[in-house]
Amino acid sequence: MAKSKAAVISATASVAFVLLLAGPAQSTQKREWTLGPFVRPVHAPIIEPNSKPVFTDPITNKPVRWEALHTFNPGAIVRQGKVYVLYRAEDDSGTMAIGMHTSRLGLASSEDGIHFTTEPTPVFYPDHDSQQEREWPGGVEDPRVVERDDGTYVLAYTQWNRRSTDIGIATSTDLIHWTKEGPALLGETYQHFDYKSASIVTRPKDGRLIAAKLEGKYWMYWGEIEVRLATSPDLIHWTPVEDASGKPIVLLRRRPRHFDSAFPEVGPPSLVTDRGILLIYNGKNAAVDGAPGLAANAYSDGQALFSTDDPRKLIARSKEPFFKPEEPWEQSGQYAAGTTFAEGLVFFDEKWFLYYGCADSRVGVAVFDPKAAASRKP
């Protein structure tokens, strides 16, 4: 599949992907395929809870302070020269426990990728619709968003009814008005399968990341606890890649004494590069037999590389996290152990911007500047 692999690297972004390899090379073998290093451009969250905005919930028909409690776990996309972030916002209803509030998705925009203006009402939320049973009262969570060749935006998110989770799919042409398409995975086996987290494979095109077709279909790495794989003809209906026994194949598992010793969970949309398919993922550190130097149960970030010729084939996997909780707002919050939970990745202003959730409470950003990294390389 060498020809198709070359075809997905657009001329516009090829220089950026060569520079992807330009981080300080402690060891060429160790660093040559990874993205980074990422640094915090500001030592503060970029989106925080706000108790002032009020939204009339369509299910209860009552006003709610929809982003009063927590704002976190963001997806990101570049549109018309700006960065747009879809972020999970929790209201102040329910009991004070993780997952027991109602989540909706807010929209924020930025001209520099760092300073954001948020919309006063959520753009995506549980409603009296075909997905109400899957989304109420827990809500819609943890968005990842990609763009299709025709300009349509495809959202993969978690549907949470406080009993089980699904990956839901929705589509939009403006990031504001969305059509809910229903659960991602097809087949009777997966109708009662508890699953979440989706990383759709993308390619660079004209400064944007576009969902990539390889071998005539789209690909998606999905899951927490174990990372798996699915394919789709249209980015809406997904079929898990299964083994000979009819079970979904597993590509990444937990590793004792590593940052992902409890489990891995997929992060932002993955990237086709000249080395392979790059997947950024979130690793939870185990309380027992975990990685030294990381808090028990903390989430940090790793990278894995898969073959473009065969997206099932793992080529390399980072041994250490490339990004981890360090700032106070990353180490404490609703999730007491701390997180840098990566879900959004864009190429903007010739830099890579990584958007992440801070301890299930706030939104942060980290930036990798390939040109600056190349100038420092010995």
**What would the pLDDT profile of 58-104 be if each residue is shown by its tens digit?**
999 999 999 999 999 999 999 999 999 999 999 998 888 888 899 99
pLDDT score of 51: 97
Asked if 301 and 268 count as a contact pair (C-beta separation under 8 A), the reply is no
Which has the closest alpha carbon to 361: 2, 79, 69, 61? 69
Q: In this structure, which topology does domain 2-376 adopt according to CATH?
A: Tachylectin-2; Chain A (2.115.10)
Instruction: Find the helix or strand (DSSP H, E) in which 374 lies.
Output: helix 370-376
Segment 238-272, tens digit of pLDDT: 999 999 999 999 999 999 999 999 999 999 999 99
- Distance, CA of 123 to CA of 106 (rounded, Å): 6
pLDDT score of 12: 35
| pLDDT beyond 50 at 8 | no
pTM for this prediction: 0.93
For residue 228, how far is the Cα from the chain centroid? Answer: 15
Per domain, the residue ranges of the chain are 2-376
- Distance, CA of 118 to CA of 105 (rounded, Å): 11
User: How many residues make up the chain in this entry?
Assistant: 378
| pLDDT beyond 90 at 377 | no
Instruction: Find the helix or strand (DSSP H, E) in which 221 lies.
Output: strand 217-222
